[in-house]
Amino acid sequence: MPQSAHFKEKIRFQKNKKMADEITKLIPLSSDVYDAFCQSERELFVPQGMSLHAYKLDALPLVANQWISSPLTVAKMTEALTCKGADSVLEIGCGSGYQALILSKLIRRVFTIERIDRLLKEAKERFKALGVTNIHTRFDDGQNGWREFAPYDRILFSASTPHIPAKLFEQLKIGGILVAPIEKGQKQIITRFTKTEEGLISKPLEECLFVPVINGREF
């Protein structure tokens, strides 16, 4: 690696670490999740011209009225997913690809679906530039899931919804965990569902703010 490139990588790591330290002041992070944030190039996932804001704990706008979630929200969703011991995860709503990148540091196989073609193409270019090979992408309405590789140990729903389609729970392993922002009146609540032999156990965790899920695909 050229010296200049190595220097830039070192600076980014320091900025990622500082951001992770800021997150730990607000919520507890497991050591694995903390390391994943330190190793994930957030600056590469924000829109051009917004690099100065990349390491702030704020959501940032993307194309097509979408947003890249704040690092704090990504951390909360990742911790709620309880990645330790999981081998596969399905993400509904790839967006910029940043959440998938974090998951790729924690889980061996990441499957992520995006309904907006332009967003998915940009995310794939970022994964390729970083040499990430364990993230698999699909252009589709994420509410359909991805049956080919089911069942999954974990499913992460990265858009708010009043309810989770039954077909997604069907693609979750027994003992698996699904995390989603569930709409309750005017509020959105991060909710963790655990699938058991007897049925689903749901646990509301805390309020959040996500863009709502939209049906279909957008070219």
116: Cα within 13 Å, side-chain hemisphere: 17
Q: Report the pLDDT averaged over residues 84-98.
A: 96
pLDDT digits (tens, 9 = 90+) for 156-203: 998 899 999 999 999 999 999 999 999 999 999 999 999 999 999 999
Residue 219 scores a pLDDT above 50:
no
Domain boundaries, the chain: 58-207
Topology of domain 58-207 in CATH is: Rossmann fold (3.40.50)
Q: Which amino acid, one-letter code, is at 27?
A: I
The reported pTM is 0.93
Pairing relationship of beta strands 172-184 and 199-207 according to DSSP bridges? unpaired
Q: Any catalytic annotation for residue 70?
A: no
Annotated catalytic residue, options 4, 40, 51, 69: 69
Degrees, nearest 5: CA angle 28-30-36: 115
